[in-house]
Amino acid sequence: MVEDKVEEVKWKGLGVNDHWQQMKGIMMETAQDMCGMTKGPRRHKETWWWNEEVAEAVRDKKIKYGKWKKENTEEARMEYKKSRQNAKRGLSSAKEKKQKEWANDLNDSECEHEIFRMAKQMVKKKTGYNWVKLY
């Protein structure tokens, strides 16, 4: 497959850099045809506290930020600051609400195994370069 594409290209009169770019293009195209392409890792991991209200507040904040940067007025800046505060409040209230729900669920005898799962996650989060685990 690569040989066919290499034979199609006219190599005469090309410099070293052009020659390299042609070869790179042929190899990349062939690899994509043979192997396909992936979309890559997910950008946004799903969080346990995310809901539609938080999403709407963040969306509004982003819109107001774009408006502020485009118009560059003090009024647009104040609107952005207000929407940013609303987003922070909405985020913290959603987190608090979910934490309370979670705590109530853990009090049930049916969810005792969840405590161990949560502890395991907490240990995983804290194991890093800056964290020393003491036994």
For the stretch 14-26, pLDDT in tens is: 788 888 888 888 8
pLDDT exceeds 60 at position 131? no
What are the pLDDT digits (tens) for 50-65? 889 999 999 999 999 9
| Closest to 78 measured CA to CA, from 87, 91, 65 | 65
For residue 12, give Cα distances in angstroms to 16, 49, 82: 11, 61, 63
Same structural domain for residues 26 and 58?
A: no
d(CA 132, CA 126): 8
Same structural domain for residues 60 and 103?
A: yes
What domain range is 62 assigned to? 52-110
Whether residue 89 lies inside any domain: the answer is: yes
Phi then psi dihedrals of residue 12, to 5 deg: -70, 135
Whether residue 125 lies inside any domain: the answer is: no
Give the dihedral sign, CA 31/33/39/41.
negative
What are the pLDDT digits (tens) for 33-49? 888 877 777 666 667 77
In terms of average pLDDT, the best of 4-8, 16-20, 93-97, 119-123 is: 93-97
Whether residue 78 lies inside any domain: the answer is: yes
Same structural domain for residues 25 and 63?
A: no
Same structural domain for residues 106 and 56?
A: yes
Same structural domain for residues 31 and 58?
A: no
| Closest to 61 measured CA to CA, from 42, 97, 88 | 88
What are the pLDDT digits (tens) for 87-97? 999 999 999 99
State residue 123's pLDDT score.
73
Percentage of the chain modeled with pLDDT above 70: 81
pTM of the complete model: 0.50
Whether residue 29 lies inside any domain: the answer is: yes
Whether residue 46 lies inside any domain: the answer is: no
Same structural domain for residues 75 and 102?
A: yes
pLDDT exceeds 90 at position 112? no
Same structural domain for residues 56 and 93?
A: yes
Same structural domain for residues 29 and 57?
A: no
